[in-house]
Amino acid sequence: MLKEFKEFIMKGDVLSLAVAVIIGAAFGAIVASLVADIITPIIGVILGGVDFAGQVITVGEAEIGWGNFVQAIINFLIVAFVLFLIIKSYNTANPPVEADPEPEAEPADVVLLKEIRDLLASRR
């Protein structure tokens, strides 16, 4: 079982996925900082000094942190946009290679006529 596990871990797909997760987490931290430290304050200034991170609605004894939710939405949109740009630039730099289309099969009657022709030619 240990040998099978080692083979599974050493497959290229698993290693690539692990690297992607680690880089994704690091990138997430960068985006979170970008949103919290740069974009959210700019939006706050535009909206008259509103700080989203501290915005809550109190319902009874519960506090609903809608500001953190808005910040999470901004994080998501930025990550999605950056991924869109990365994939778009990758697809532009590496257009998909189209395989040669396979020739269409001849209709059965044409194949049969060719066989008859070949048989007649071989009798001569």
Measured CA to CA, the distance from residue 73 to residue 40 in angstroms comes to: 11
Is residue 103 included in any domain, yes or no? Answer: no
Is residue 105 included in any domain, yes or no? Answer: no
Number of domains in the chain: 1
Is residue 94 included in any domain, yes or no? Answer: yes
Is residue 110 included in any domain, yes or no? Answer: no
Measured CA to CA, the distance from residue 91 to residue 110 in angstroms comes to: 42
Q: For 51-86, what is each residue's pLDDT tens digit?
A: 676 788 888 888 888 888 887 888 788 878 878 888
pLDDT score, position 55: 81
pLDDT score, position 17: 82
Let me know: does 40 contact 49? Beta carbons within 8 Å: no
CATH code: domain of residue 77: 1.10.1200.120
The domain of 20 spans 2-98
Supply angle C-alpha 72, 26, 7, rounded to 5. Answer: 120
- Write down the number of H helices and E strands in the chain: 5, 2
Locate 93 and state its tokens: 């730099």
Is residue 63 included in any domain, yes or no? Answer: yes
Is residue 65 included in any domain, yes or no? Answer: yes
Locate 3 and state its tokens: 């040998």
Is residue 104 included in any domain, yes or no? Answer: no
Output the pTM of the full model. Answer: 0.53
